[in-house]
A and B are shown apart, each in its own frame.
Chain A
Amino acid sequence: MKLLGDLSIPLIIAFVMTYALIQGTDVFPAMISGAKDGLKTVFGIIPALITLLPCIYMLRASGALDALCGLLRPLLSSLGIPSETVPLMLIRPLSGSGALAVGSDIIRNSGADSLVGRCAAVMLGSTETTFYVIAVYFGAAGIKKSRHAVPAALIADLTGFLAAAFFVRLFWG
């Protein structure tokens, strides 16, 4: 598992660059132009993080976050989900930057290589901002009745949260 993790980054960089060169792509300028897009993305995220992180840090410091997690612990532990990930599961379908802020708070607080930290990372990496996606797609297509899209999407999210907790326990528990 560690080998796969260590291998993936250098392998992908080398493969994509080599493939692009063979195809006759101007590799360096393309990388630069992509990196510029990346800077724009980060500049877009930082103001949202500055708004969201103080609220999340305050909630944790007030003790309310621990109280909420403690309240839900019996229910969640029977499903194998660490209760520290409750705030992440609540915000994940609603806001991408919110999920990034909450996820970073959990990973910082529990440690990146802890069970809870890994679980939060897998949840974050294998789910999407469900309600935002639904609003964008149906809005753009001019759809008035969404039928079963919302329940089916939420079932996918729920499955993702349960599976994340399960596989993290299986591999590192």
Chain B
Amino acid sequence: MLLNLIIVMLSVISLVYGSLSGNLSAVSVAAVKGAEAAVSLGVGICGMICLWSGIMELMKCSGLSGKLSRLLRPLLGRLFPTAAKDADTMDALSSNVSANLLGLGNAATPAGIRAAVGLKRLSGMDTASDELCLLVVMNTASIQLLPTTVASLRATFGAVSPLDILPAVWLTSLLSVSAGIASAKLFEHFSHP
């Protein structure tokens, strides 16, 4: 796993660079402070994350996310013409996108996987179809309307209004998802299945 390599590299570089630059005592303090900060950060964002998980559960139970999912279906049918012919796949696909929009991470992944399996069945190949690539690209670009974890992070570090970054987050997400969809649509002409 790449992450193994990264943390080992970070600690070795810290040791070597810290020794050479004479910052070794600061490095030693930092290790202790970092472990301390991890716990206080976890405690700091805990309340906010739990509150939002509650609100998200409510969105699911009340049928709000299902309603959004039905609203999205016509639009998604245009992006995914093959999936639109299969009711199960389309259902999974629209649940995946609506769960992503609402920040329901726990619901988005299972629905997305169901959609991916459905798309693979429809194409009948071991190679990713155009629409499967598009689904994956849309899931790697965040389309969350309310970045709750970031908001709690900002609140923990004393932001005056933790969600005042919303317009910037929305515009940025919109641009990056559009860039992802456009490149996927463009590249599908050059990478044959």
| A interface list, Cβ under 8 A from B | 1-2, 4-6, 8-9, 12-13, 16-17, 19-20, 23, 25-27, 30-39, 41-42, 45-46, 49-64, 67, 91, 93-95, 98, 100-101, 103-104, 107-108, 111-113, 117-118, 121-131, 133-134, 136-138, 140-149, 151-153, 155-160, 163-164, 167-168, 171
Contacts and interface: CB of A to CB of B under 8 A. Distances in A.
Contacts of B88: none
- Ranked nearest first, the 4 interchain pairs of A and B with the lowest CB-CB distance are A34-B57, A156-B180, A125-B147, A38-B53
Interface in B26-82: 26-27, 29-35, 37-39, 41-42, 45-46, 49-59, 61-64
B84 interface: no
29 contacts: A8-B146, A13-B55, A17-B58, A31-B54, A31-B55, A31-B58, A35-B50, A35-B54, A42-B45, A49-B38, A49-B42, A57-B30, A62-B13, A94-B2, A113-B158, A123-B172, A127-B176, A128-B139, A137-B139, A138-B136, A144-B127, A147-B188, A155-B180, A155-B183, A157-B176, A159-B180, A163-B176, A167-B171, A171-B167
A62 B18 contact: yes
Contacts of B184: 148-149, 152
B34 A152 contact: no
Contacts of B169: 122, 125-126
A57 B42 CA distance: 16
Interface of B: 2-3, 6-7, 10-11, 13-15, 17-18, 21, 23, 26-27, 29-35, 37-39, 41-42, 45-46, 49-59, 61-64, 106, 109, 112-113, 116-117, 119-120, 126-128, 132-133, 135-137, 139-142, 144, 146-147, 149-151, 153-154, 156-169, 171-173, 175-177, 179-180, 183-184, 187-188, 190-191, 193
A134 B99 CA distance: 18
Given A9-B163, A46-B42, A58-B10, A153 B137 contact: yes
Contacts, number: 359
Contacts of B54: 30-35, 38
A149 B137 contact: yes
Contacts of A142: 120, 126
B61 A30 contact: yes
B127 A147 contact: yes
